[in-house]
Structure 1
Amino acid sequence: MVAPKTRDRILETSLNLFNQEGLAGVSTHRIAAELDMSTGNLHYHFRTKELIVTWLFRRFEERFAPCIDAHANVTALDDLWLSLHLTFEAIDEYRFIYRDIDYLLKEFPELEQRAQALTARNLVATKAMCAGLAEAGVIAASPEDVEMLALQIVFSTTCWFSFKRLTPPQKSPAYGASALAAYYTLTLLSPYVVGESKDYLNYLRAKYLR
């Protein structure tokens, strides 16, 4: 098996540290120490922490974009479940971005427009998803309901990990944070789902609590 390139090792280690310890608390010295390399060697590949964050944000965009695009093809609850599942997997993999978004945009303002564009794209796709579910008769929702439901779903998916930092940790968590986020996001649909789809929605929600 071919060993990962040094740049990839730096990015993967940085991602793990940012996710575990927070973007603000991890320096290039900390990253170099974790990799057992000199700071000079790290700076040869990435001159600044800003470059590392920018590269990771680019990777997140590439990882997240297909999840957003998949929203447009949702016409059934199974499609919705899969789309949300993939969305939370992507966000969880790069969770420092949304969890530390205030610090990220303050320290790296050049990423603000890209973050806004990604969110706008997510909103449009999620609105199309909700409209598709309404047209398919899965949910009973007016155009205003569709607008607000899309906003709530995007809010939940992007702000979940920030919110979790404000809640006391459970002593014996039965499920992970991303699974619980998916459960709550599916719950947002509950008042709108009609007919037999309602029982199936409850089944999908319950799967996340097992």
Structure 2
Amino acid sequence: MTAPKTRDRILDASLDLFNREGLASVSTHRIAAELGMSPGNLHYHFRTKQLIVTWLFRRFEERFAPCIDASATVTALDDLWLSLHLTFEAIAEYRFIYRDIEVLLNEFPELETATQALTARNLLAARSLCAGLAEAGVIAATAEDVEMLALQIVFSTSCWFSFARMTPRQPAQAYSESALAAYYTLTLLSPYVVGESKDYLNYLRAKYLK
């Protein structure tokens, strides 16, 4: 089995540290120490922390973009739940980005345009998702409802892990954090769900909140 390249090792270690300790708290010296290498060796591959963060942001975009695109074609609640679950898994893998967004944009303002573009893409997909559910008869929603639901879904996916840090730790759950986040986001649609889809939503409610 081929050993990971040094650049990949640096990026993987940086991601783990940023997720665990926060973007502002981790320096390149801390990353080097985590890897057992000299700061000079790390700086040979990445001259600055900015370059590391930029590369990780690109990786996040590549990981997250397929989830966004897939969500735009959803027309059933079970597909929506799966789409949300995959979305939260992608965000959880790079959770420092949205959790530490204020720090990220203040320290690395060159990423602001990319962040805004990703959010705009996410909003467009969420609007298509909600409109598709309305057209399929899954939800009864006006154009204004669709717009607000799309905003709420994107807000939930972007801010969930920041919110989670502000709440007391819960006892061990039978379901992963991403699955629970997907469920709670799905229930934003509850007042609008009609027909057989309401039975499926009630099934999910019983499954996760029993």
TM-score normalized by structure 1?
0.95
Q: For 1:180, give the aligned amino acid.
A: L
Partner of 2:167: 167
Say whether 1:19 aligns with 2:16. Answer: no
Spell out the pairing of 1:115-194 with structure 2 (5 A cutoff).
Answer: 115-170=115-170, 172-174=171-173, 175-194=175-194
Counterpart amino acid of 1:32?
A
- d(CA) in 2 for partners of 1:202 and 1:50? 46
What's the CA shift for 1:55? 0.1
SS at match of 1:140: coil
Q: Which residue of 2 aligns with 1:3?
A: 3
Deviations 1:135-157 (A, max 9, x none): 00000000000000000000000
What does the per-residue CA deviation read over 1:168-205, in whole Å, with 9 as the maximum and x for residues that have no partner? 222x2324432332121011011111011111122234
Question: Per-residue CA shift, 1:74-110, capped at 9, x if unaligned?
Answer: 1111221111111001000000000000000000000
Q: Label 1:208 to 1:62 Cα distance change in 2 as closer, same or farther (>3 A).
A: farther
Between the aligned partners of 1:206 and 1:5, the Cα distance in structure 2 is 46
* Offset at residue 209 of structure 1 (A): 5.0
Aligned AA (1:10): I
SS in 2 for 1:73: coil
**Alpha-carbon distance between aligned partners in 2 of 1:63 and 1:85, rounded to the nearest angstrom:** 14
Cα 1:63/1:188, change in 2 over 3 Å: same
Cross-structure match for 2:39: 39
Check the 8 A contact 1:99/1:162 in 2, yes or no.
yes
Deviation at 1:129, TM superposition (A): 0.3
Q: Pick which of 97-106 and 198-207 moved more.
A: 198-207
What whole-Å deviation, never above 9, does each CA across 1:44-76 have from its counterpart, x for those lacking one?
000000000000000000000000000121111
Please, which runs of 5 or more residues in structure 1 have no aligned partner? none
Pairwise CA distance, 1:165: 1.9
- The residue aligned with 1:64 is 64
1 CA distance for matches of 2:78 and 2:176? 21
Equivalent in the alignment of 2:85:
85
Runs of 4+ in structure 1 over 6 Å off = none
| Alpha carbons 1:72, 1:125 under 8 Å: kept | yes
CA RMSD across the alignment: 1.3
Say how many residue pairs are matched.
209
Look up the SS of the partner of 1:3 in the other structure.
coil
